[in-house]
Structure 1
Amino acid sequence: MTPRTWPTRLGTAAYWIVAMAFLVGAVTKYLPGETFFGPPYSVKFADWGYPPWFRFVVGTLELICAALLVIPDRRTRFAGSAALVLLLTGAVTTHIVNQDALSRSLAAPVNLVIVAVIALVNWPADWRDLLRADKKSPRADSGRPVARI
């Protein structure tokens, strides 16, 4: 094994670990009874002010995003992590609005930071020029006029 394959394998393992965490979270949202996270999610969602069926929507989104994280393509990983950033922003907001205890709400902001880092790492290369407007940008060297808004 070459030394270059180890970082690649560790990165792949990290994506799988994050995806498995969201897979477990998605599966527990489908379970009717108590989970190892506490009361049933149908009760939790009702306590938070959401309809009980909304847990299926959140669970399905988590399941789809977990699948997107393990596909070895930057754009699919970016799409999955960006969708999770939006989903987890809603989760963090829900915990803040409902003033949940820190022990019950710590996982959401931690996971939000993790998937935000994954989204930034997998930001598509051709979109990186959108972040730069300096003279080192390949778009600035192309001779084409760049529309500025």
Structure 2
Amino acid sequence: MTGTAARAWPRRLKTAVYLVVAAAFMVGAVTKYLPGETFFGPPYSVKFADWGYPSWFRFVVGTIEGIAAILLVIPDRRTRFAGATALVFVLTGATTTHIVNHDPISESISAPSYLVVTTVMALANWPADWRDVLRPRRDAVNA
């Protein structure tokens, strides 16, 4: 491998991981809007009610998941940090919900697994200065 190809490999692998995670959450976001049963089981309106949430709360969670998935795909550290951080909050709630409701491990393993992955993504894209997330870019200001 040449020097350029050797440097491109990790970047491509990282991009592939972001795309796979984003695709998984986009599928999850879309299924939260479906009215009937999904390939994940019963309708999410029923699942959310069983978990103790109002059935409309699935739209809130689905919207956050969809926006976060889009942010993960954009090749910018700030947007990836924002998307991963949003998913960390959603997945913390999902993991807590599964624990409180004593869901079987077969139904609840994906939430803590993705929580670990998205936490690593958020830490990998952590801004040098946390205020950078909220500031406009300098190149955009000077243009």
If the TM-score is normalised by the length of the shorter chain, which range does it land in?
Answer: 0.7 to 0.9
Look up the equivalent residue of 1:54 and give its one-letter code.
F
What corresponds to 1:101 in structure 2?
104
Look up the equivalent residue of 1:82 and give its one-letter code.
T
What corresponds to 1:4 in structure 2?
7
Q: Distance in 1 between matches of 2:47 and 2:129?
A: 41
The root-mean-square deviation of aligned C-alpha atoms, in Å, is: 1.0
1:1-149 paired onto structure 2 within 5 Å: 2-127=5-130
Gaps of 5+ in 1: 128-149
| Displacement of 1:2 | 2.4
State the TM-score, normalized to the length of structure 2.
0.86
| Displacement of 1:9 | 1.1
Q: Distance in 1 between matches of 2:57 and 2:27?
A: 17
| Displacement of 1:42 | 0.4
Q: Distance in 2 between matches of 1:77 and 1:125?
A: 14
Q: Distance in 2 between matches of 1:60 and 1:126?
A: 28
SS at match of 2:126: coil
State the TM-score, normalized to the length of structure 1.
0.83
| Bigger Rg over Cα | 1
Gaps of 5+ in 2: 131-143
Deviation string 1:47-98 (CA, Å, 9 cap, x unpaired) is: 0111111101100000000001011111111111111101100001111111
SS at match of 2:28: helix
Q: Distance in 2 between matches of 1:125 and 1:73?
A: 14
Q: How many equivalent pairs are there?
A: 127
Look up the equivalent residue of 2:87 and give its one-letter code.
L
